[in-house]
Amino acid sequence: MSARKATSSRCVLRCFGVGEGWPCAERRHASFHYHIGSTRLVIDCGDGLSGGYRAAGLGGEGVDHLVLSHMHSDHVGGFSMFIQGLWLERRRKPLYIHAPASAIPALRAWLKATLLPEELIGFPIHWNALQPGLAIECGGCTLTPFPTRHLDSLKRKLQPAIPAICFEAYSFLIQSPKVRIAHTADIGQVSDLEPLLTEPLDLLVSELSHVSPGALFRRLRTCTIRRIVWVHLSRRLWKNRQETGRTLVDELGTSGARIARDGDIIRL
């Protein structure tokens, strides 16, 4: 069954990679495919994206929008391979790539460096610089990026010496008339989530690596969120995931306790 035919659901989320920054035999790196109405979005391009995408039966036309939250390798390492796959699968329709503004020149240069100049690949790429709080129309839904402090400490450390690095990082709110979803990507502080939590959510897809779990759980307990899916667990929490799962149930109840694995499909 094709992914396009599979969606009588309001949203189908395919988790291609739920890992964090460390190499892991059981988890690929960050990549997620959202099918909402007739729109298909991939958020982040960790390595393993191409394999997960193909395993889901998706071909050259199986994505409309590619969204990059920030430039850490666990979120972008599979980027050029994914574009190569779309080229080999003879994609023809445009691809919209939404990325931090200061990352776009590097991404374009990367495609050239990996022998994938835009003149070759056979489909147009429309580049769009993410702007804080500005909603992007994506067919039947909108995607709104909100800046996070995930890279702030690295910026303080590196920017004086290496000013050209992209230190932008974003979380996302995805909305359609039928569904409201928050996708954290990587955050720096629990307060980074505030713009995502102003109204009830149907789904929160949250990382669990970079902030204190206790502080995060306390904040989430005050919100109306129908389902939470945990991804990007730290190595310690992943290794002890049975215990982590019990803690999640204690803190947030069963609707807030799902720890995703690669290949998981979540339907709303």
* Site residues for Zn ion per CB under 5 A: 72, 74, 186
> Smallest gap, in angstroms, from Cβ of residue 110 to Zn ion?
18
> Smallest gap, in angstroms, from Cβ of residue 171 to Zn ion?
12
**Residue number, 70 or 180, with CB nearest to Zn ion:** 70
> Smallest gap, in angstroms, from Cβ of residue 69 to Zn ion?
8
3-state secondary structure of 220: helix
**Residue number, 103 or 141, with CB nearest to Zn ion:** 103
> Smallest gap, in angstroms, from Cβ of residue 130 to Zn ion?
15
- Listed in sequence order, the residues at least 6 apart from 188 whose beta carbon sits closer than 8 Å to its beta carbon are 148, 149, 150, 151, 152, 153, 169, 210, 211
Provide the token pair at 244.
């982590």
> Do 240 and 215 touch, CB atoms closer than 8 A?
no
> Smallest gap, in angstroms, from Cβ of residue 4 to Zn ion?
29
> Smallest gap, in angstroms, from Cβ of residue 230 to Zn ion?
14
Beta strands in the chain (DSSP E): 11-17, 31-36, 39-43, 65-67, 95-100, 125-130, 136-138, 141-147, 170-176, 179-183, 201-208, 225-233, 258-259, 265-267
**Residue number, 186 or 202, with CB nearest to Zn ion:** 186
Q: Is 86 exposed, middle or buried (0-12, 13-18, 19+ CB in 10 A)?
A: buried
DSSP string of 79-109, one letter each residue: HHHHHHHHHHTT--S-EEEEEEGGGHHHHHH
> Smallest gap, in angstroms, from Cβ of residue 229 to Zn ion?
16
The residue number with the shortest CB distance to Zn ion is 72
**Residue number, 6 or 165, with CB nearest to Zn ion:** 165
**Residue number, 14 or 210, with CB nearest to Zn ion:** 210
> Do 206 and 230 touch, CB atoms closer than 8 A?
yes
**Residue number, 91 or 98, with CB nearest to Zn ion:** 98
> Smallest gap, in angstroms, from Cβ of residue 74 to Zn ion?
4
**Residue number, 47 or 186, with CB nearest to Zn ion:** 186
**Residue number, 50 or 209, with CB nearest to Zn ion:** 209
Provide the token pair at 22.
């460390």
> Do 168 and 130 touch, CB atoms closer than 8 A?
yes
